[in-house]
A and B are shown apart, each in its own frame.
Chain A
């Protein structure tokens, strides 16, 4: 009997512990400044934006941008690597302060996240196997086309892409796939595409830099046609902290005007992607 009573006490105790709540709104900037660390969420498997380098440390364009932002805030930087869908779901509850993950500020995302500043633009392109006979984008109509799940590339294939950031170049839907195959990320789509033309995939949409870097690593792929759209890529923070938002916007503005972003873009991509491309 004594034991049963103890179980009961345990259960009530646990219920009480869960009901203790803490508020997290409006305090991101305070938290960063008082703790002296900027916690940045980014992907660890998205070269050349962010990846683990040969010394097993985080490295890449996004990582360098995050380091620079932290430096200008006067704090240390710390990286966390939750999966992409957890980052884009919002409601971070103060687990991390900022996402520097080449995120496209879509309308749906802006309902749960704030986008302080666009820091560069990447072209998105179609890739096919190098043996493919496709010559123009519409040659992939009715075929199997892949993209990373919950990405703008997938939305593009679904003809459901709307980007509400300023300065986004117009685009048209140039391909009507027969079947859209969703992958964990773009790399997984390229892994399926490399198996051969039409083995599992006939083509994929991904960011041009990622496709080019795969081709450089001997993936038997080629880029099909011109970039299908240019996506602005932004820093993201949890909703509700205007001061933090403005501070980050200011920092990115400075990094643009003093050429820091341009230098970083050229370091990682060999090209300046920091202004909207015609």
Chain B
């Protein structure tokens, strides 16, 4: 929560005025959808007669009934405890999403026949490329941050040039540049190392800034105290500064992890058989792209959720968690 509020008041959704506004807006939006020829219109048959011929009245009536259900639902959730609210809203949104995908009329047998290969080949490749890249990017970022904070003009110039360049180019372009450009210098790089290198350099640049900000946020007095005790630079960094900077560095770094997991899909253009590549090619023969794209989307989402959970664990460890 933003701040611990001790003023207790009714939730907004329990005010009659708010309820009324919700009802009107929901009725209006649902009417716009024109639901009388859907399954909802079928339920309304006793009131509106033959759904297909009910026209505008049918649409408004169906929309109104659905809007009432929606408002009752929201008001009821308003009574629940905070955690229960989260759970119910999550479940409802998830159900809506699944219903949305279900309406595409997907072929589940096809998904079933491909999903194992998507996981063993696609998820595996995506994960190991992201994992290697994130480790390397963290190392690059530490050096970059130290260089950016250094009083040595040379180190600062290189580090700032690096962050400026690699943050300023689209990642897709970096992938192409490294894969097609390095061979021009006589160094032929394979697809996977090229992808890892591009991800490392790009995310290393972003994380350099995160690390720099984290280190800079530690009070100068900490440095002075440490140095006066005879600690060297490396020891001060390792024992005094970084442990204090970590709680500030961890949350944005977690975001970078999640972003990288998804951006690793860009290396599919150079022919790496990771999740995105398989999503685009597996359904090709049978013209079932939608099936594969949605499956891959859900897999990416599950992976991100896992990372989010890990991140909140680590944040709790550093006691900076918001809930």
Contacts and interface: CB of A to CB of B under 8 A. Distances in A.
Interface of A: 3-4, 7-8, 11, 17-22, 24, 44-48, 51-54, 56, 80-83, 86, 89, 91, 93-95, 187, 191, 214, 217-219
B154 A80 contact: no
Contacts of B289: 187, 191
B158 A18 contact: no
A20 B189 CA distance: 13
B150 A52 contact: no
Given A80-B271, A81-B271, A187 B187 contact: no
Contacts of B146: 3
A47 B289 CA distance: 13
Given A7-B155, A20-B187, A21-B185, 8 more contacts: A3-B146, A4-B147, A4-B150, A7-B143, A7-B158, A48-B285, A91-B183, A95-B188
**Smallest CB-CB A-B distances: 5 pairs:** A21-B186, A82-B271, A93-B183, A47-B285, A45-B284
B180 A86 contact: yes
17 contacts: A4-B154, A8-B154, A11-B158, A18-B186, A21-B186, A22-B188, A44-B277, A44-B281, A44-B284, A45-B284, A47-B284, A52-B278, A52-B281, A52-B285, A53-B285, A82-B270, A86-B180
Contacts of B183: 91, 93, 95
A162 B234 CA distance: 65
B271 A21 contact: no
B280 A45 contact: yes
A217 B187 contact: no
Contacts of B228: none
A50 to B, nearest CB: 10
B322 interface: no
Interface string B179-205: 110111111101100000000000000
A219 B154 CA distance: 61
Contacts of A83: 269-271
Contacts of B188: 22, 24, 93-95
B117 A46 contact: no
Nearest to A22: B186
Question: In which size bucket is the chain B interface?
Answer: 35 or more
Contacts of B121: 56
Most chain-B Cβ atoms within 10 A of its Cβ — which of A8, A44, A91?
A44
B229 to A, nearest CB: 20
Contact of A51 (B117, B278, B281): B281
Contacts of A191: 289
Contacts of A17: 187
B281 A45 contact: yes
Nearest to A194: B287
Contacts of B154: 4, 8
Given A56-B117, A82-B270, A93-B183, A3 B233 contact: yes
A81 B269 CA distance: 9
Most chain-B Cβ atoms within 10 A of its Cβ — which of A7, A54, A187?
A7
A214 B271 CA distance: 24
A20 B186 CA distance: 7
Contacts of A81: 271, 273, 277, 281
B112 interface: no
B92 interface: no
A44 B268 CA distance: 11
B185 A187 contact: no
B282 to A, nearest CB: 6
B319 interface: no
B140 to A, nearest CB: 11
B286 interface: yes
Contact of B287 (A4, A8, A214): A214
Contacts of A56: 114, 117, 121, 282
Contacts of A7: 143, 147, 155, 158
B284 A51 contact: yes
Nearest to A21: B186
Most chain-A Cβ atoms within 10 A of its Cβ — which of B114, B281, B282?
B281
B26 to A, nearest CB: 30
Contacts of B185: 18-19, 21
B219 interface: no
A142 B74 CA distance: 52
A93 B182 CA distance: 10
Most chain-B Cβ atoms within 10 A of its Cβ — which of A11, A48, A81, A217?
A81
B32 to A, nearest CB: 21
Contacts of A82: 191, 269-271
